[in-house]
Structure 1
Amino acid sequence: MPRQFSYTTRPYAAVDDATGAPIGLDTIDVRVRWLLDLIGAAQSELVSRLWHPATFDALAAGRDGQGRKLPMQGHVAAARLGWHPSYPPGVYVPSRVTRVVTAQAVGTLRALAYRDNAISALSARFDPATGRLAPPTTAGECVPSGFARGVARQLTARSRRTDGAATERLRITDVQGPPQTCVMARLSAADRQLSQITVADGVMVLTVKLPTHEAPTGRAQWRRVRLTAAIPPHLHTRAITDWHLPTLVLDHRGVLLRCAATEQIPTADLSAATTAVGVDWSPATLGAAAIVTERPDGLVSDYRGFTYDDRGLGIKLARLQTEGQYLHRKAARLTRLAATAPPDVRTELEQKIAVLDAHRTAVGVKRGKINRELAFHFGREVTDYAAAAGATVIGVEDLSTLETRGHGRVNNNRAAQSARRKAVDALAHTAAGVGVTVVSVPARGTSALCPGCNDTLSRPGGYHRAWCTRCKVGGNRDHVAGVNLAKRALLGRDRVVRKRGKNPEIRVTEHAPVRQCRDKTSPTPSRPRHRRVRRSVPTATPRAGVNQIRIVPAPRASVWDTVKPATSHGVTGSREVPTSPASATSVAGSMRVT
């Protein structure tokens, strides 16, 4: 079964395609920045020019002026509709770069077409006097509750700006302005005239046409460059059938290649699954899991779950979130003060605001890295747990119907900020490599109902404990919820709904009693053993009058500690020094798969 995945890498060498002369990496960064500036400015101008209801009407209809169906390719659909970007006077841009601009712009507008339709339906049910939405009358008007509350806030803000002027239907262009576009270049939207890729012996060579001037005036100022990058070593043994063109972005370290590839993975037969793992999300930790096995006499479970240990990263995320909120409040307060301050004081306040914004951005980047690490470590732990138990399906709560409310401000905020969506993607990616399928199951009632009799559970030991007086089963609340999720995954494995780009879904909730068995069905989690210490060796007596400094090594709280540092690739000075192509294994130490 083919599956696409993504990874990132960076070029470590660059040469001119025509002359073969080496080019410094700093020069490559500058030329890529010129390309991204042209694409970003043209894309923002095109989206702003098309920000009117007629654009979304054309996208919703899916037809061009001649009644033909719009193709999936964004640049072809833009050409059919007559949408063309504009560039500064005298600047020459190849037609393939224009394809990249229109493809990215049409992709953004198509993503917002759903929001435009929802806002149009919700605005008809909005009451400006009370700020509330009327109940939907048809099934087509139902939207997720979180999305509806966000639209209600937008409609309330517009009602305040317009002094409560009532309108029957609003569009997305009436509620918000044009969105900000990402500065990137999706090379897959063009053909071989702009870029092409070759992979051999763990080395990827990307040939791309880059400008040689900030404002190129002719075709001669666009030259081809060969960028050499290393494939991460953990991809060398995979059954990869196709390598796709990357997306060019720039960060604080230079050019970053966001690549994609297609590999062959083992196909899992859900109808033949007899053991399932249920994953329940928890505000205290990221999640907990439990196992249910189907036998000839029914469903059984030992009700002994597995609780994920985040190694203290959850506390670190909470601290970073508090710090980011503090920086945001302080920057907002200084912004209000700068609005009425004298010019000299306003300049000083604006400098402080810029520093606070930079610190807040750094905190956000750090939170994103920790969330990514947490998600993939969680995916690996749950996958190993399922593989040790012989499970072929993992049931997770459907995040579209899961909303944390009524558990207090701290728990609600902690659950809302957890990287659940990223953890699901990481779990699906990791589990597919060993032939385990991740399915979404309904989340309602998993923590409140008994897996055996489907009655409401009691809480004799507090919120985190659950007990059924009828079946005499219970334990940790999250482990009981994991049993319910695994049961629903097994009972609904024959009625799975599959959608493109999403995990398989089970939408029907069925009940069958899950009895508790004494047989051990779940694997034993590994525990660190204590190291033996000889007590017969006398301890050294410290000398009097000397301060003894004890150096205690810090425990490893991150999987990043196991990553070897990247080599210098033979460059000791500036990145302007032309480098020679090195081997793939010597430069791929710091590469990561996403």
Structure 2
Amino acid sequence: MPKPQRTGHKVALGVDWGLNTLLSAGVSRLHPDGKITAAGAGGQFRAAGILAKQHRLRNLSERLHAKADQYARLADSTLDGKAATLAQEIRRVSERRSNLNDALAWAGARWAVDQAVAAGATVIYLEDLRSMEADGMGRTHNTRMSQTVRGQIADRIRHLAAETGIAVVTVPPRNTSKHCPCCLTPLRHRKAPDRPTVPGWTWAICPRCGWQGDRDQGAWRRIAARGLAHQTKTIADRASGTMVIRAVVDVMEAKAVIATTPKTSRSDRSKTSPTRPRTNRLTPRRREVPSPARPSGRAGQRPEGHAPTDRTRLPRAAHRHQSVTTISTPTTGRHRPRGAALGAGFHLHAHASPPRWAIPVPDLTVRMGSLS
């Protein structure tokens, strides 16, 4: 296996232990002029399903231990059988948690090493886990940190990275999520990008340079830039043999920033070509006349359409609230517009029939008596 190098790295993978995700990682490059740039937006290793299962097993284990302690306090000989069964169940739950943590550690480590191999990175920078604390974060964050087996993941990453000669170096985690990766200004943490005034820990906004992004995405940029800037301070731990950067030097930290590419904008917006012709036809083709509004009461019969072909005799016009004007001129020959005279619809030489909910037109010729 190739031996990993301590210095001389140009491409590095920064890995952050995420608050909302298990791992957040991205690639940074060190250019000959000393500038550090981020290659892409990075990625995240999400394990929400496994973490939820871990949480359920943890709650189950706590309940079983509480019940076992209660049996021990009672000191009743009749409960010895139940206590033995309970102890066996506790061992089974512990084995399930151990197997799940081991599988999660291998999966997370394999993902991180694959990211480094695909990007051609020669070093992976991790945060130092000994200073991972959760002051003021609440019970939820403390539980997540205690059950995500970060120590096992770091050991698996070193094991897999040694096969390809990639160095794994731990860096101090001070202010990696607090300061901006582009200008080292303290960030303002908010609830979400669409809620910039609600305090939270998910979204970070820089008040100076305007950078904003996920809190974990900014952290891996800071970790990778710090590692590349302090790679001459990399030493090997005598106790564990791992590579580590002990402290942060202010002069080197000032260079550990991600250089941003200036946005190119078109200053001259004068017209240089003819305007593209636009068609007036609607796409897709729609009705130009809107449909009538639906009545507020009970829906009636739909407007009349084609006459049904399965009827031997069409209904009378009086039953369809037709006006007396729904007639047609009789013709000679084979064509007899019988449907129009009896109110079959507007397609047979007649006016359109009103809907059922419309007020019928009064027939003025009904019950007209003689003037004499």
Q: State the partner residue of 1:324.
A: 61
Instruction: For residue 518 of structure 1, report the CA deviation from its aligned partner.
Output: 8.4
- Residue 243 of structure 2, aligned match among 488, 501, 504: 504
Matched, 1:486 2:216: no
Instruction: For residue 296 of structure 1, report the CA deviation from its aligned partner.
Output: 2.9
Instruction: For residue 399 of structure 1, report the CA deviation from its aligned partner.
Output: 1.0
Structure-1 separation of matches of 2:165 and 2:243: 14
Structure-1 separation of matches of 2:83 and 2:77: 10
Q: State the partner residue of 2:27.
A: 291
Contact 1:289 1:305 in 2 (8 A): yes
Give me the TM-score of the superposition, normalised by structure 1.
0.40
Question: Which one has a bigger Cα radius of gyration?
Answer: 2
Contact 1:406 1:412 in 2 (8 A): no
1:367-378 pair list within 5 angstroms: 367-378=97-108
Instruction: For residue 273 of structure 1, report the CA deviation from its aligned partner.
Output: 0.4
Contact 1:303 1:479 in 2 (8 A): no
Runs of 5+ unmatched residues, structure 1:
1-264, 339-345, 520-594
Structure-2 separation of matches of 1:389 and 1:471: 28
- Residue 334 of structure 1, aligned match among 71, 82, 86: 71
How big is each residue's C-alpha offset from its partner over 1:536-590, in whole Å with a ceiling of 9 and x where there is no partner? xxxxxxxxxxxxxxxxxxxxxxxxxxxxxxxxxxxxxxxxxxxxxxxxxxxxxxx
Contact 2:6 2:235 in 1 (8 A): no
How big is each residue's C-alpha offset from its partner over 1:500-531, in whole Å with a ceiling of 9 and x where there is no partner? 42421101222322123489xxxxxxxxxxxx
Structure-2 separation of matches of 1:424 and 1:318: 21
Give me the TM-score of the superposition, normalised by structure 2.
0.63
Matched, 1:304 2:37: no
Q: State the partner residue of 2:260.
A: 516
Structure ranking higher on relative contact order (CA contacts 8 Å, 6+ apart): 1
Query: Aligned to 1:305, what secondary structure does the other structure show?
Result: strand
Q: State the partner residue of 1:156.
A: none
How big is each residue's C-alpha offset from its partner over 1:418-443, in whole Å with a ceiling of 9 and x where there is no partner? 20110000011111111111111001
Matched, 1:455 2:185: yes
Structure-2 separation of matches of 1:474 and 1:415: 25
Structure-2 separation of matches of 1:311 and 1:399: 21
1:436-455 pair list within 5 angstroms: 436-455=166-185
Task: Look up the equivalent residue of 1:318 and give its one-letter code.
Answer: H
Task: Look up the equivalent residue of 1:507 and give its one-letter code.
Answer: R
Q: State the partner residue of 1:185.
A: none
Q: State the partner residue of 2:123.
A: 393
How big is each residue's C-alpha offset from its partner over 1:197-234, in whole Å with a ceiling of 9 and x where there is no partner? xxxxxxxxxxxxxxxxxxxxxxxxxxxxxxxxxxxxxx
Structure-2 separation of matches of 1:518 and 1:380: 35
Task: Look up the equivalent residue of 1:474 and give its one-letter code.
Answer: Q
Matched, 1:472 2:213: no
Query: Aligned to 1:433, what secondary structure does the other structure show?
Result: coil
Query: Aligned to 1:380, what secondary structure does the other structure show?
Result: helix
Runs of 5+ unmatched residues, structure 2:
193-199, 264-372
Structure-2 separation of matches of 1:317 and 1:498: 34
- Residue 274 of structure 1, aligned match among 10, 18, 27: 10
Instruction: For residue 305 of structure 1, report the CA deviation from its aligned partner.
Output: 2.1
How big is each residue's C-alpha offset from its partner over 1:43-102, in whole Å with a ceiling of 9 and x where there is no partner? xxxxxxxxxxxxxxxxxxxxxxxxxxxxxxxxxxxxxxxxxxxxxxxxxxxxxxxxxxxx
Task: Look up the equivalent residue of 1:504 and give its one-letter code.
Answer: M
* Cα distance, 1:486–1:269 mapped onto 2, change above 3 Å: same
Query: Aligned to 1:459, what secondary structure does the other structure show?
Result: strand
Structure-2 separation of matches of 1:288 and 1:428: 17
Instruction: For residue 303 of structure 1, report the CA deviation from its aligned partner.
Output: 6.2
How big is each residue's C-alpha offset from its partner over 1:239-292, in whole Å with a ceiling of 9 and x where there is no partner? xxxxxxxxxxxxxxxxxxxxxxxxxx2112232101111111124332111221
Task: Look up the equivalent residue of 1:515 and give its one-letter code.
Answer: A
Overall identity of the aligned pairs, in %? 34
* Cα distance, 1:312–1:351 mapped onto 2, change above 3 Å: same
Is the deviation greater in 499-508 or in 326-335? Answer: 499-508
Structure-2 separation of matches of 1:292 and 1:432: 20
Q: State the partner residue of 2:149.
A: 419
Instruction: For residue 494 of structure 1, report the CA deviation from its aligned partner.
Output: 1.1
* Cα distance, 1:444–1:303 mapped onto 2, change above 3 Å: farther
Task: Look up the equivalent residue of 1:316 and give its one-letter code.
Answer: K
Task: Look up the equivalent residue of 1:383 and give its one-letter code.
Answer: V
Contact 1:303 1:516 in 2 (8 A): no
Contact 2:29 2:39 in 1 (8 A): no
Structure-2 separation of matches of 1:455 and 1:329: 48
Task: Look up the equivalent residue of 1:300 and give its one-letter code.
Answer: T
* Cα distance, 1:358–1:269 mapped onto 2, change above 3 Å: same
Q: State the partner residue of 1:176.
A: none
How big is each residue's C-alpha offset from its partner over 1:309-329, in whole Å with a ceiling of 9 and x where there is no partner? 226211111111111011011
Structure-1 separation of matches of 2:49 and 2:177: 25
Matched, 1:315 2:52: yes
Is the deviation greater in 497-506 or in 472-481? Answer: 497-506
